[in-house]
Amino acid sequence: MWVSDNPSITLSTYALGSCVAVVAYDSFAKVGGMLHMMLPDSKISPSKAVSQPAMFVDTGLPLLFDALANLKTEPRRLRIFVAGGASVRCSDDSFRIGERNVRVTADFLSQHGYVARQTAVGGTINRTVHLNIATGEVTLKTPVTNDSFLLAA
């Protein structure tokens, strides 16, 4: 997890497979954050949840939004992008970790009044995401695309 109000910073996460990234940006405060989560539920490893809470959707997302609030963002101004949740190892993923990560993330956001403005989830390809803190520009790279958009808009 990373949050920043430094305009010279670009936050990045690489090769999201079944993992999910949540990117949040407040264009008024010029503050952004990014969280790369591996698993949906911390109950599978309570000790890991204590030492690495950002690893799990249920413990990581509260950390992200608290850290953003500490940098003077306001929930109503946050623009949110969600990426990842793919099934890249095989087409018959019996654990459905990516799918579960996306579902738990969407449920958390909805329950807390957040709306993801854009998503790039599911499928079978990995994704890399960059957030430019100065502009709110998000770059989404996959093995077949390289897209950019303003999360601040």
Residues catalogued as catalytic: 19
Q: Encoding tokens for residue 139?
A: 């770059």
Note whether 113 and 75 are within 8 A (CB). Answer: yes
Please choose, from the candidates 125, 129, 119, the residue with its C-alpha nearest in 3D space to the C-alpha of residue 35: 129
CA distances from residue 45 to 85, 96, 142 in whole angstroms, order as listed: 20, 18, 31
